[in-house]
Structure formats: C-alpha cells, structure tokens
Structure 1
Amino acid sequence: MKHPVDVHVGKRVRHRRWMVGMTQQQLAEQVGIKFQQIQKYETGMNRVSASRLWEIAEALDVPVDHFFEGLKEGTSSVEGQDFLADKEAMELIRAYYAMPENQRRRLFDLARVLSESAA
C-alpha cells in the first residue's frame, strides 16, 4: 500500500524533474540507478531512502526539504497537489517560468483579473 508521504515526495520529484527538463533516464544516470527505479519513486510505489533523496535533490538542484513542501503539518495527508498530475497545468507552469519576469508579472495580473470577472 502506498503511503501518502511517499506519493507526495514522488510527485514533487516528478514535478521538479519535469520543470528542469530532465528525463527519468537522465536523472537515473546522475543518481546511479535505473530509470525504472525513478518511475517507482515518482509513483510512490517505492520509498526513497534519505541518502537517495539527497542525491536526487543534488541532481535536481533543490534542497531536500523541497520534496516535503505542501505536506499538511502534523499528518501524512497531502493537500493541493493534484495539479502536479495534470499535464496541461504542468505545461502552463513550464511556459510561465520560461518567460521574462516582467512578462510573467503582466500575465499573472491578467489571469487574476480574468478569474475575478469569471466569479
């Protein structure tokens, strides 16, 4: 049975890997394992050991605590992470961060105005 924390960490690994444009194979090579193991980590099927999580964090250039962001404090439940499984949302996020800062700000302001007028 998958533990919610393992699923959350796996989603965060997948999200970060995707955001930096790295394949499962590339991450696996940097960490010294097979890409199938990365697949199992990302789905929460296998737990990531502390030392392996450290290596993954180094390869993805984030602190280890990045993988735990968004966990509800004091429990092992996950909140607000469904967007990580949505390919369209992930593509939108990637495109957003590829923009220069001034364009991102303008797009953000536009999205906020549009969402307020739709409500």
Structure 2
Amino acid sequence: MGGRRFDEFDRQIGQLVKARRLSKGISQGELGQILGLTEHEIQNYESGSKSISASRLAQISEALDVPVTFFYDDTEGYSGLEAGHVPADPAQMLKTILGLRLLRAFHNLQDHSMREHLVRLAEQMSANAVSTGKQGRSDPKTAS
C-alpha cells in the first residue's frame, strides 16, 4: 500500500474526530486542554496532516465519549465525509459535519410543531430533488 492510502485514512480519522468534537460542542482549544495538547496539534490531527497514534486515539475517544471503534467503523473504502457525498446508509450521515449540524439544529428546536415543519420541509425538498434528478448534489461552501 502506498503512502497516499494512509494519508487518506489519516484525513478520514481526523474528520471523524472533528465531527465528534463539534457534536459535543467542544472547541479545538478545549479538546487540546483535556489532552494536554495545543490547539494547533488538534488542528493537525483533524486535517489529517499528522497521524494519530493508537494511544492518542484512545485518549481522544475517551475525551469525546465514544469507543475507539467509532473512528474505524466504515473507514475502509469510505472516503465521503467531504461535502457532496451522500452515504448509502443514513446513519453514516451522523459521521459528517453537515449531518451533525442538521441533528443539532433539530435537537435545539423545543417546539414539536417546528420540528414537524422541519421534517416536512426536508421531505418535500428530498422528493423535489428526486423528481428533478438533483439528488446527491450540494454546494460545498454550505456543507461544512
């Protein structure tokens, strides 16, 4: 296996760290403080420019309240955490930044009728996208 494959793997793991950190509402600086690292080191891990060792990933998983396997599930052959990729399994959307943003927005709506309205709106948009053949396309500027 070439270096490029491992670079992509590091990037995917880093994006999962970022997605989970954001879902917990923790800043890079706060995560760094918990782990005894600088904000810059967290940025390097999340961008994939620096590999995360197994022991460091165990510390990160503990700080983010997920099992270590969270960062490895579905990484084989799955390179779609970036904008524009729609995972085949809807549950995988929770591993994307956009999916987590949507879930957080829905969760923050306390009014049941507003939640119902949001679901109907999403269903209408989805049906329209399917009927016009535009499903799976997105604007990368709004996805992260």
User: Fold match, TM over 0.5?
Assistant: yes
| Conserved? CA contact 2:12–2:79, under 8 Å | no
- Alignment-mate amino acid for residue 69 of structure 1: D
Q: CA RMSD in A?
A: 2.7
Q: Scaled by the length of structure 1, what TM-score is found?
A: 0.76
Partner of 2:123: 112
- Structure 2 SS opposite 1:3: helix
* Runs (5+) with no aligned partner, structure 1: none
Question: Structure 1, residues 82-115: CA drift from partner, whole Å, max 9, x if none?
Answer: 14466xx654342123345x66973335412331
- Percent same amino acid among aligned pairs? 34
Measure the CA separation in 1 of the matches of 2:113 and 2:45.
Answer: 35
- Structure 2 SS opposite 1:61: coil
Q: Which has the larger radius of gyration?
A: 2
* Runs (5+) with no aligned partner, structure 2: 84-95, 132-144
Counterpart pick for 2:104 among 89, 94, 97 = 94
Query: Any runs of at least 4 consecutive aligned residues in structure 1 with deviations exceeding 2 A, and if so which?
Result: 77-80, 83-86, 89-94, 96-100, 102-110
Q: Pick closer, same or farther for the CA change 1:60–1:79 going to 2, 3 Å.
A: same
Q: Pick closer, same or farther for the CA change 1:5–1:104 going to 2, 3 Å.
A: farther
